[in-house]
Amino acid sequence: MNIVHTPTRRCPPAVLAATFALLAHGVAGAARPDRGADVTPATVETFTQRNGGVFAEWPNPRVLIVLTGELDGYIEPCGCTGKENQKGGLSRRQNFLRAVAGAGWPVVAVDLGDQVRRFGRQSEVKFQSIADGLRAMGYAGVGLGPNDLRLPAEELVAAVAPVGDQPTPFISANVGLLGLDANITPRFRVVESGGLRIGITAVLGAKQAAEITNDAVEVRPAAEALQGVAADLQKAGCSHQILLAWADPEESKALAASFPQFDIVATAGGADEPPATLPVLPGGKARLVELGHKGMFAVAIGLFADPQTPIRSQRVPLDARWGESSDMIRLLAAYQRQLESLGLSGLGLVPVRHPTGRRFAGSAACADCHQEAYDVWASSSHAKALTTLEEQTPRRDGDPECLSCHVVGWAPQRYEPFEGGFASAAATPHLAHQGCENCHGPAAAHAAVERGDVRASTTERDRLRQELVLSLDTPEGKQKAVNNCLECHDLDNSPKFDFDEYWPQVEHSETKTAAAAQ
Amino acid sequence: MTHRKPNAWVVAGFAVVAGAVIGGGQAALEAALRPWRIGDFGPASLAATSSDAPVAEVPETRHEFGTIGTGAEGTHEFEIRNAGPKPLVLTRGATSCSCTVSDFESADGGDEGARKEVPPGGSTRVRLKWRGKGAGGPFRQQATVFTNDPRRPEVAFVIEGTVVPTWKAVPESIALPTIATGAGTHAEAKLFTFGTARPEVLELALADAQAAQFFELASTPLAAAELESEPGATGGFTISLRVLPGLPLGPVRQTIKARLKIPEDVAAELPVEGTVSGALALAGGAWDSSRQALLLGTVSGRTGSRTEVFLTAKGPHATAVKPTVREVLPGTLVVEVGAAKPVGDRGMVRIPISITIPPGSPPANHRCSDQGPAGRIVLDTGHPETPVFSIPVCVVIGP
């Protein structure tokens, strides 16, 4: 199916304002899109120093192609060090696109795919929200990644379907939801922008196709599918062609060699960050574009009329210089409300048995005997962990991916509750915040024995006590403690974490308490 | 410290002048492709430079380190020379990840903090240290150094390579999105190992022993050709999971636990996630799975509308499904069932269903509320276990 599609976007207020500002200055086209609206020069300077400047010395392009992809579920950045220190998120992405449009640069945005990384109801809801966000940002082409294609067909089809008279931005030359001949998504798209005609298609690579276990997804070999699409794109008279190849770099390069008509080939399988420069593939035409992971960067490619410099590229860090988009904040709020209304059971989160088989008592129960350690905890940020989620806008305390490190009794990396773990602030208030048992282990049986609620032999009592001991006195003991911390203080969410630096902030020990008492 | 907003006219004027300068010389500077600014020509590269300025010469800005283990540390030193007549002042800038740090060498070879002055004719080294992070795969980080060389105010040093974990599962988890009630399914994952010896599976088990009766596990060593797909892998297994019929409706969450000898003992975990759903399901833009209703919205009775959805059938009786319309509310809806077609090679079929509100339809209120209860489309399916399939419909037909 050949859809010739000329975007006719409604102009958002920020774009109108920026355009007006340009005209008022009498230097239309001279503005450089290097910040979001209402972002202070100091913020721009800080993040330019930290992550590099953007579009320095660029004349106005005829068209700016903006490539994104591999969002991996990071609809927004997350972390203990503050969101402002992390890159990514749809909100900044939209403001970046608006800044570009506000500078008067025609923009064509495309996305490689893999909006989500995990499986389950939350990922389904998130995929739908991200698809809505991409539509709102005016994306011209969006591919389907292997993790997207793990979602159930009924969810995928609903999320990618056209909305009203707006065609779906999702495209694929070789992937068919409910079969290729169901034509749920077009094989390619042609857009006209800045006087240029740009063809876009997408494929899933062979290795990724082999891993698809979804009965509802039909995949043809990429090269075979591209034969027909390439011919159609040629017939469409495109001046530039883009291939979104969710494939390993080697396969993407091979496809580029087989189909030299593509000027831009986006590939998966790269490093966390896109490279500083775009490699030019053999043949001297096609640029291979890596996009990094987690949507931290966009890659912008400018097409110019100048025959000596027909193309320039820019890696764009999506950091705090772009500010927040109110539209995307509203979308995030709706997403959070949906999670909250579904609740844990609606999200399919059935509590799993803790590896120890034990249950949780709550941090207050520890205070009966370990008052000093409890006081250290109570004055730490750990004791406010849930509050930080409740106080955010929109609040995140209904989001399992956030909750798992902010309450007692969840598996942090699996985002699922253990049996007897935190269920809600109303039902299990004693398990709010990042409490004692997340490091020491579930302590209900220990607390019951110590209180005398349950009779136990001395041997049994000592065994229960010993199970909860974490010692830093041996390398093995310290490693066990560090590994516990790393469950939440991982490189994504707490990139500056260093146990030896952080430990003094929460240091507590029975030995220390006993020594102080003497 | 206060920041004054730059006067817009001044900014605009500067942009015009800069544009004129750039338009004249920039094209010649960049023959093909304009890279990311850092590490190449900075914004001041076109400014007039005096002959007595410091000159930063950098023989190498990119280092490919090959492979590194997860959590292991690597280091590399980059040289910066001062080929100018004035001292070259270097300031340490940001690194792209806190897994990477940079420092200047001191006279005794140690680290020397954030600033360094290099005399004319002298040189210094920037030491990058990095730690292999994550679950393995390509790794690229960079560190920025600012200089007082007006032609090269920033230099970006890049280290690239591959992080090799102890083990790696491909895919990271097994997803089973389409388990039909009463049916089984199967899936595979590859578990690559990166130890010094060919691995041995000491134990392969499911974490949730209560549900283990519904699963069968097997492992087969990977062939040499299969290992080539994962750089650095020295061994591995295909983990085969067979799901037996009988799992209850709803989400499936399991974990395959493998204990490997490579030659040290290593515990690997492979999550299994899926959904057991009915043999029949609806898919389409108008189908809201959260509300389990077909949302046709508010439609003008004068113009009407047409919506298409798909009924999917999976499981052992999929090909027996031949729906016919038993009941429709509001009665003005015209429901047509198309021909069944197979999807993929696992026995799923899809059946198109079109719902038309013909022009001239009378008003109706089925907005799925107390005032307007849901409409419905009821199908006789031919499926022996789900002979009737009812689809709630939310629609308001206006004038």
Residue type, A420: G
Assess if residue B15 is contained within a domain: no
Q: Is the model's pLDDT at A73 over the cut of 70?
A: yes
Confidence of residue B50 (pLDDT cuts 50, 70, 90): low
Residue A487 pLDDT? 87
User: Are B153 and B210 found together in one domain?
Assistant: no
Q: Which of B277, B299, B323 is the C-terminal boundary of a domain? A: B277
CATH code: domain of residue B155: 2.60.40.10
Assess if residue B2 is contained within a domain: no
**Mean pLDDT on A459-479:** 91
Q: Is the model's pLDDT at A468 over the cut of 90?
A: yes
**Mean pLDDT on A17-43:** 63
Give the bridge partners for B69, in sequence order.
B164
**Mean pLDDT on A455-464:** 94
**Mean pLDDT on A503-518:** 69
Cβ distance of B37 and A54 shorter than 8 Å: yes
Q: How far is CA A121 from CA A246, A331, A337, B287, B289, in A?
A: 24, 18, 14, 16, 10
Give residue for tokens 């209560």.
B210
Measured in angstroms, the CA of A367 and the nearest CA of chain B are apart by 33
> Which residues lie closer than 8 Å to A491 by C-beta, 6 or more apart?
B97, B98, B99, B133, B134
Assess if residue B8 is contained within a domain: no
Residue A17 pLDDT? 40
Measured in angstroms, the CA of A41 and the nearest CA of chain B are apart by 7
User: Are B102 and B143 found together in one domain?
Assistant: yes
Interchain contact B380–A (C-beta under 8 A): no
Closest Cβ–Cβ partner in A53, A124, A218 for B43:
A53
Pick from A20-34, A96-110, A154-168, B344-358 the range whose average pLDDT is largest: A96-110
Tell me which chain A residues have a C-beta less than 8 angstroms from the C-beta of B93.
Answer: 49-50
Query: Which of these ranges, A103-112, A453-462, B48-57, B297-306, has the smallest mean pLDDT?
Result: B48-57
Cβ distance of B19 and A30 shorter than 8 Å: yes
3 state SS of B62: strand
Long-range CB contacts (within 8 A, 24+) of B64-68 = B64/B159, B64/B160, B64/B161, B65/B159, B65/B160, B65/B161, B66/B161, B66/B162, B67/B161, B67/B162, B67/B163, B67/B164, B67/B231, B67/B232, B68/B130, B68/B132, B68/B139, B68/B161, B68/B162, B68/B163, B68/B164
**Mean pLDDT on A389-410:** 93
Assess if residue B12 is contained within a domain: no
Cβ distance of B36 and A314 shorter than 8 Å: yes
Q: Is the model's pLDDT at A182 over the cut of 50?
A: yes
Confidence of residue A5 (pLDDT cuts 50, 70, 90): very low
Closest Cβ–Cβ partner in A53, A119, A182 for B173:
A119
Tell me which chain B residues have a C-beta less than 8 angstroms from the C-beta of A54.
Answer: 37
Residue A378 pLDDT? 96
Tell me which chain A residues have a C-beta less than 8 angstroms from the C-beta of B135.
Answer: none
User: How confident is the model over B248-296, as pLDDT tens digits?
Assistant: 888 888 889 999 988 888 889 899 988 888 889 999 888 888 788 999 9
**Structural domain boundaries, residue B268:** 167-277
Confidence of residue B363 (pLDDT cuts 50, 70, 90): very high
Q: Is the model's pLDDT at A496 over the cut of 60?
A: yes
Cβ distance of B251 and A120 shorter than 8 Å: yes
B37 or B188: which carries more pLDDT confidence? B188
Measured in angstroms, the CA of A151 and the nearest CA of chain B are apart by 6
Tell me which chain A residues have a C-beta less than 8 angstroms from the C-beta of B147.
Answer: none
Interchain contact B158–A (C-beta under 8 A): yes
Closest Cβ–Cβ partner in B26, B35, B287 for A276:
B35
Measured in angstroms, the CA of B51 and the nearest CA of chain A are apart by 23
Query: Which of these ranges, A25-29, B77-81, B240-244, B296-300, has the smallest mean pLDDT?
Result: A25-29
Q: Is the model's pLDDT at B340 over the cut of 60?
A: yes
Confidence of residue A476 (pLDDT cuts 50, 70, 90): confident
Closest Cβ–Cβ partner in B35, B170, B341 for A179:
B341
User: Are B159 and B34 found together in one domain?
Assistant: yes
Residue A179 pLDDT? 93
Confidence of residue B33 (pLDDT cuts 50, 70, 90): very low
User: How confident is the model over B89-113, as pLDDT tens digits?
Assistant: 998 887 766 556 667 766 555 555 6
**Ramachandran angles phi, psi of A149, nearest 5°:** -80, 0
Interchain contact B42–A (C-beta under 8 A): yes
Confidence of residue B393 (pLDDT cuts 50, 70, 90): very high
- Percent of chain A at pLDDT above 90? 70
**Mean pLDDT on B9-30:** 35
CB B284 within 8 A of CB B308: yes
A449 or A52: which carries more pLDDT confidence? A449
User: Are B173 and B102 found together in one domain?
Assistant: no
Cβ distance of B175 and A150 shorter than 8 Å: yes
CA-based radius of gyration for chain B: 33
User: Are B126 and B71 found together in one domain?
Assistant: yes
User: Are B157 and B44 found together in one domain?
Assistant: yes
Give the bridge partners for B180, in sequence order.
B277
Confidence of residue A479 (pLDDT cuts 50, 70, 90): confident
> Which residues lie closer than 8 Å to A227 by C-beta, 6 or more apart?
none
Q: In whole angstroms, give the CA distance from residue A300 to residue A293.
A: 16
Which candidate in A65, A119, A337, A494 is best for mutational testing of the B interface (most B CBs within 10 A)? A119
User: Are B258 and B286 found together in one domain?
Assistant: no
**Mean pLDDT on B125-138:** 80
User: Are B270 and B147 found together in one domain?
Assistant: no
User: Are B363 and B325 found together in one domain?
Assistant: yes
Assess if residue B368 is contained within a domain: yes
B5 or A104: which carries more pLDDT confidence? A104
Query: Which of these ranges, B10-19, B61-70, B282-291, has the smallest mean pLDDT?
Result: B10-19
Measured in angstroms, the CA of B14 and the nearest CA of chain A are apart by 9
Confidence of residue B127 (pLDDT cuts 50, 70, 90): confident
Closest Cβ–Cβ partner in B140, B283, B288 for A275:
B140
Give the bridge partners for B271, in sequence order.
B255
Residue B45 pLDDT? 35
Interchain contact B306–A (C-beta under 8 A): no
Q: Is the model's pLDDT at B26 over the cut of 70?
A: no
Q: Is the model's pLDDT at A50 over the cut of 80?
A: yes
User: Are B333 and B379 found together in one domain?
Assistant: yes
User: Are B216 and B268 found together in one domain?
Assistant: yes
CB A256 within 8 A of CB A286: yes
Measured in angstroms, the CA of A447 and the nearest CA of chain B are apart by 27
Closest Cβ–Cβ partner in A54, A153, A278 for B33:
A278
Task: Report chain B's mean pLDDT, rounded to a whole number.
Answer: 81
Q: Is the model's pLDDT at A4 over the cut of 70?
A: no
Buried residues in B259-280 as b, exposed as e (16+ CB within 10 A): ebebeeebebebbbbbbbbbbb
Number of domains in chain B: 3
Closest Cβ–Cβ partner in B32, B173, B178 for A152:
B178
Tell me which chain B residues have a C-beta less than 8 angstroms from the C-beta of A27.
Answer: 12-13, 15-16
- Percent of chain B at pLDDT above 90? 43
**Mean pLDDT on B302-310:** 93
Cβ distance of A312 and B38 shorter than 8 Å: no
Assess if residue B270 is contained within a domain: yes
User: Are B140 and B62 found together in one domain?
Assistant: yes
Cβ distance of B343 and A215 shorter than 8 Å: yes
Which candidate in B36, B100, B252, B292 is best for mutational testing of the A interface (most A CBs within 10 A)? B36
Tell me which chain A residues have a C-beta less than 8 angstroms from the C-beta of B178.
Answer: 152-153, 214-216
A240-246 and A264-267 as β-strands: parallel, antiparallel, unpaired?
Answer: parallel
Q: Which of B277, B305, B335 is the C-terminal boundary of a domain? A: B277
Cβ distance of B253 and A416 shorter than 8 Å: yes
Tell me which chain A residues have a C-beta less than 8 angstroms from the C-beta of B253.
Answer: 348, 350, 352, 416
- Percent of chain A at pLDDT above 70? 92
**Mean pLDDT on B352-358:** 95
Residue A47 pLDDT? 92
Cβ distance of B275 and A154 shorter than 8 Å: no
A–B interface: beta-carbon pairs under 8 A: 237
Tell me which chain A residues have a C-beta less than 8 angstroms from the C-beta of B284.
Answer: 157-158, 161
3 state SS of B233: coil
Assess if residue B229 is contained within a domain: yes
User: How confident is the model over A290-328, as pLDDT tens digits?
Assistant: 999 999 999 999 999 999 999 999 999 999 999 999 999
Closest Cβ–Cβ partner in B8, B98, B138 for A25:
B8
Tell me which chain B residues have a C-beta less than 8 angstroms from the C-beta of A320.
Answer: none
Measured in angstroms, the CA of A466 and the nearest CA of chain B are apart by 24
Residue B97 pLDDT? 66
Confidence of residue A383 (pLDDT cuts 50, 70, 90): very high
Tell me which chain A residues have a C-beta less than 8 angstroms from the C-beta of B346.
Answer: 215
CB B231 within 8 A of CB B139: no
Cβ distance of A213 and B160 shorter than 8 Å: no
Tell me which chain B residues have a C-beta less than 8 angstroms from the C-beta of A246.
Answer: none
What is the DSSP secondary-structure string of A300-351? Answer: EEEE-S-SSS-EEEEEEE-SGGG---HHHHHHHHHHHHHHHHHHHHHTT---
| Residues 103-142 of chain B whose Cβ lies under 8 A from any Cβ of chain A | 133-134, 137-142
Q: Which of B277, B300, B318 is the C-terminal boundary of a domain? A: B277
> Which residues lie closer than 8 Å to A65 by C-beta, 6 or more apart?
A107, A108, A109, A110, A198, A240, A242, A264, A300, A301, A302, A303
Assess if residue B113 is contained within a domain: yes
- C-alpha dihedral over A484, A488, A494, A498, to 10 degrees? -10
A414 or A100: which carries more pLDDT confidence? A100
Domains of chain A with CATH codes: 2-27+58-332 (3.60.21.10), 349-517 (1.10.1130)
Residue B195 pLDDT? 80
